[in-house]
Amino acid sequence: MNKNVNFNDLGLIDYKECWDYQEELFSQIINIKMQNRALEKDGMNTLSTPNHLLFCEHPHVFTLGKSGSENNLLLNFLELNKINASFYKINRGGDITYHGPGQIVGYPVFDMENFGLDVRNYIHGLEEAVIRMLKHYNVNAYRLDKATGVWLDVDFPNKTRKICAIGVKASRYVAMHGFALNINTDLKYFSYINPCGFIDKGVTSLEKEVGERVDIENVKNILKNELSEVFGMDIK
């Protein structure tokens, strides 16, 4: 079981360019796992599968998961151009969300079997790492019943708001896509969608919760450490 994880901070990168890169890494891991099946049949030693963790930010973009409704995008394509935003239908689970500057988008692309995970436990672990990170900023966050992601004030329906969205794709226990954590995010862009399909829940950022701009590099370092702890990763 290879628990080493190759970390790469891609900075600000076009969504499609990053998606293509994820797909390339994802396919490489899938191909190794398929080779391993043949090697096992022949009684030969199998190959270790690599693991990757990508952090990045994207220019303004809305992405719609395969189970989502395009009606949750509240703009037409001319209006998207006016706000310098793009739109993609993509192959993760979940509905619509927004990515933009000031947000940490995390893409773990790895073999879940290296860490003894199934999809449910994997998503639970992503939520746990974010919840732990937020405690460093004295922000208490939780899971919301029947919804993925990380939320605040879940016991007060009129105040419940999301700070981190999660949507993944998995095949043969290999995962891609991941999470979007609002740090210094321009929240007005969420008013152009029904975030994750919800019309009765708010969206927030760490900046809004603590009342001042946050050092995003510090958040990244804390988050990497929490991901390492939760999943037992050795992040390089």
- Domain borders along the chain are 4-231
Q: Which residue among 18, 56, 164, 196 is the active-site one?
A: 196
Query: Distance between terminal CA atoms of the chain?
Result: 16
Grouping H, G, I as helix, E, B as strand and the rest as coil, residue 172 is coil
The mean pLDDT value for 98-103 works out to 97
Determine the 3-state secondary structure of 102 from DSSP.
coil
To the query of whether residue 196 is one of the catalytic residues in this protein, the response is yes
When pLDDT is cut at 50, 70 and 90, the band that residue 49 belongs to is very high
Q: What percent of the chain has pLDDT over 70?
A: 97
Output the CA–CA distances (angstroms, integers) from residue 222 to 122, 165, 182, 213, 215, in the order listed: 19, 18, 15, 17, 11
Pick from 107, 108, 4: which is nearest to 49 by CA? 4
In the predicted model, is pLDDT for residue 200 greater than 70? no
Q: What is the pTM of this model?
A: 0.94
Residue 144, Cα to own-chain centre: how many angstroms?
Answer: 17
pLDDT in tens, 142-186: 999 989 999 999 999 899 999 999 999 999 999 999 999 999 999
* Top-level class of domain 4-231: alpha beta
Strand partners, 165: 180
